[in-house]
Amino acid sequence: MREVTKRHGDTVAVDRLSLTIRKGEFFAILGPSGSGKTTTLRLLAGFEQPDSGEIIIEGQPMQGVPPNRRPVNLVFQNYALFPHMTVAQNVAFGLEMKGLPTPEIGPHVAEALEMVRLAGKQDRLPSQLSGGEQQRVALARALVNRPAVLLLDEPLGALDKQLRLEMEVELKALQERVGITFVCVTHDQEEALTMSDRLAVMHHGRLLQIGTPEEIYTAPASAFVASFIGVSNSLPGRVQAIDGQRTTVAVEGIGLVHAPSCTGLRTGAPVLVTIRPERLHLSRDPATDGYQNQIAVRVAKAIYSGNEMHYLVTLPNNLTWKARVPNADGTAKRFHAGESAYLKWRTAEAVLLPE
Amino acid sequence: MKKSIPWLIVPPAATLILFFGVPLALVLAVSFATRGTYGGIEWAFTLGNYTSIADPLYLRIFWRSLWLAVLTTIICLVMGFPLAYVIARAPQRWQGILLFLVIIPFWTNFLVRTYAWMFILRSEGLLSTVLSALGLTHEPLPLLFTDTAVLIGLVYGYLPFMVLPLYAALERLDPSLIEAAWDLYARPLQVFTRVVLPLSKPGVIAGCVLVFIPSLGAYVTPDLLGGARSMMIGNLIQHQYLVVRDWPFGSALSFVLMAGVLAAVLYYLRAGGERGLL
């Protein structure tokens, strides 16, 4: 996609988006609702035409090419299975429309149903299947055509949590097995991180960052990406000193904290120091023991969550942070609401973002 | 144990039995009676009223009625489908207005609207004048008092009965199904025949039944627009009752019409495979 823009009335749904998706990768487009991710998918499918810019699929410009002549297939969010056709008829539809001779369609359909583990259900109607099964029919209906690109619109959004976790793994395995390029739109960061080889984060129609899940998770390029990919704590301040790899930041009401340097910052620039809840350490002991940063806090809330304790702590400047501490150590070390504690972290665990 | 009676259905049931069932039974009884010398009814049992319908003169009227009703239904379906589709796919706030426009003709008396059509279809009428002004015809069009005039009137009168059920069916149709078919390589015509049409079948059946039945028994339209040359069964029955004063024969005609409608609709529903309606 090159410089693609699409307007809906007065609002710009997709704003000068340039994106290269590699052949055979599992690519996720992540963003909150209204970020333009679904419009991007519909532009790729051909249901909408860009106002400017161009879309090229496998070297072919897609300008003016209707959906029925594009080498892409879409798995709809609500599956959009044809209710008056059986599972087998649904899966056969695309091959039939392509004009494949009838005797050849049968084996392809059987193979596709086998692939999504639905063999034996070919004569059911979609209404007789569970949500998970309907989802797999939708997958088979698209994959049977061997498209150059498979588009998935919030593929797991309608499933319950348990099934969603299973399907994340299954989808990824399926993609690796068939080797088709998957482009998956989702608002669920966990889903995007688990399944994708690379992902793009979109907001207000713009591309904010593109990279592998690890790159995006550990080195978010902006405060929005940091907060959208997992809960993040942040501290606004000004650059006090830059010392090679380490930048010292002055935070009003707290003092000095340290973070790894980032490019393009000068002394005095406004910045955000961000750190993930699971990287924080909570202790009753004021000794620094290897942590370069320490703030005295008050525990506002302690929530038991199985393997972890979730704490809400109040900082001296009245900001509330979240901390997640493993429960392995038994009950003795737990904190209770109202207690004073020391919040500690290593400088390398923080991420510095320009504000 | 006392079986509970749904008391609420008693008034409508009683009304139907009293004002629909009883008269119908009377008509059935009269259809087997004999016409009196001066037009009254003599209770002498005969099947003669039914056998005399086989007269080619009457059969021709039956045949014309059936033909006109079928044609009306087909034209309404072909014209009503795109209209209903556009309304169903229009933005929500437009749908109400467009449906309202479809229903507006009902605000005026049907008779008055049919008189308006007489004015339009007359040899020196609006349509003829406009067509010759455009140079499309060179002499006055003798449209009024023809089968074509009756057909125009019937289509005009019953089109809304086709559009409304079709709209109801199409409005329920999930637009993503259309996109899914399109995405799966179906051309626009295939999207229509493979997805839109099968899924709107209940609306098509309801619309066709709602147009076919009143068209077959139409009376006002053929009376005013068809005149004596383009009679339909409705006019024949009226003629027997009020002009010839042969009530028994008129009753027999009514029953044959009713049986015909019932047979046609049953056959249609069977063929359409719509068991849910039976």
CATH of the domain at A92: 3.40.50.300
Domain boundary among A195, A224, A253: A224
Query: Of A113-122, B71-80, B268-277, which gets the smallest average pLDDT?
Result: B268-277
Report the amino acid identity of residue A266. Answer: R
Cα angle for residues A318, A321, A324 (degrees, 5° grid): 150
Q: Which is higher by pLDDT, A272 or B82?
A: B82
Query: Contact at 8 Å (CB) between A323 and A303?
Result: no
Share of chain A above pLDDT 90, in %: 26
The DSSP code sequence of B154-210 is: HHHHHHHHHHHHHHHHHHHS-HHHHHHHHHTT--HHHHIIIIIHHHTHHHHHHHHHH
Q: Which is higher by pLDDT, A336 or A265?
A: A336
Q: What would the pLDDT profile of A168-198 be if each residue is shown by its tens digit?
A: 888 898 899 888 999 999 988 888 888 899 9
pLDDT for res A2: 66
Rounded CA gap, B205 and B183, in Å?
Answer: 29
Rounded CA gap, A193 and B235, in Å?
Answer: 76
Work out the average pLDDT over B75-82.
96
pLDDT for res B278: 41
Give the mean pLDDT of chain A: 87
Res B274 pLDDT > 70: no
Q: Chain B residues contacting A, CB < 8 Å?
A: 174, 176-177, 179-187, 190, 194-195, 198-199
Query: Contact at 8 Å (CB) between A97 and B190?
Result: yes
Are A190 and A46 contained in the same domain? yes
Taking CA–CA distances from B182, the nearest residue in chain A reads A68
Q: Is A89 touching B (CB cutoff 8 A)?
A: no
Are A217 and A249 contained in the same domain? no
pLDDT for res A79: 92
pLDDT for res B276: 47
Res A64 pLDDT > 70: yes
Question: The CATH number of B59-269 is which of 1.10.3720.10, 3.20.20.80, 1.20.1070.10, 1.10.760.10?
Answer: 1.10.3720.10
Interface confidence (ipTM) of the complex = 0.76
Work out the average pLDDT over B123-146.
79
Q: Per the structure block, which two tokens stand in for B52? A: 């005399």
Report the amino acid identity of residue A22. Answer: R
Would the CB atoms of A67 and B190 count as touching at under 8 Å?
no
Taking CA–CA distances from B199, the nearest residue in chain A reads A84
> Which domain covers residue A237, as residue numbers?
231-354
Query: Of A55-59, A153-157, A264-268, A322-326, which gets the smallest average pLDDT?
Result: A264-268
CA distances from B15 to A64, B6, B10, B20 (A): 63, 16, 8, 8
Res A300 pLDDT > 50: yes
Q: Per the structure block, which two tokens stand in for A141? A: 């209906």
Neighboring chain B residues of A145 at a CB cutoff of 8 Å: 184-185
Rounded CA gap, B269 and A108, in Å?
Answer: 36
Q: Which is higher by pLDDT, B119 or A90?
A: A90
Neighboring chain B residues of A80 at a CB cutoff of 8 Å: 174, 176-177, 179-180
Burial B139-168 (b: 16+ CB within 10 A, else e): eebebbbbbbbbbbbbbbbbbbbbbbbbbb
Residue in A67, A83, A142 closest to B182 by CB: A67
Q: Mapped to the 3 state alphabet, what secondary structure does B39-99 carry?
A: CCEECCCCCHHHHHHHCHHHHHHHHHHHHHHHHHHHHHHHHHHHHHHHHHHCCHHHHHHHH
Are A66 and A183 contained in the same domain? yes
Res B1 pLDDT > 60: no
> By three-state DSSP, how is residue B278 classified?
coil
Chosen for mutation from A97, A98, A100 (greatest number of chain B CBs closer than 10 Å) is A97
Res B277 pLDDT > 60: no
Query: Contact at 8 Å (CB) between B207 and B162?
Result: yes
Q: Is A8 touching B (CB cutoff 8 A)?
A: no
Would the CB atoms of B180 and A83 count as touching at under 8 Å?
no
Res A236 pLDDT > 90: no
Q: Is A84 touching B (CB cutoff 8 A)?
A: yes
Residue whose structure tokens are 């209940």: B202
Query: Contact at 8 Å (CB) between A199 and A192?
Result: yes
Are A306 and A160 contained in the same domain? no
Residue whose structure tokens are 């059920």: B165
Taking CA–CA distances from B178, the nearest residue in chain A reads A80
Would the CB atoms of B185 and A68 count as touching at under 8 Å?
yes
pTM: 0.76
Would the CB atoms of B174 and A84 count as touching at under 8 Å?
no
Work out the average pLDDT over A251-268.
82
What is the domain-level CATH number for residue A349? 2.40.50.100
Q: What would the pLDDT profile of B83-103 be if each residue is shown by its tens digit?
A: 999 999 999 899 999 999 998
Query: Contact at 8 Å (CB) between B63 and B238?
Result: no
How many domains does one find in chain A? Answer: 2
Are A210 and A235 contained in the same domain? no
Work out the average pLDDT over A21-50.
89
Q: Is A74 touching B (CB cutoff 8 A)?
A: yes
> By three-state DSSP, how is residue A103 classified?
helix
Are A214 and A237 contained in the same domain? no
Phi, psi dihedrals of residue A341, rounded to the nearest 5° = -155, 170
pLDDT for res A233: 86
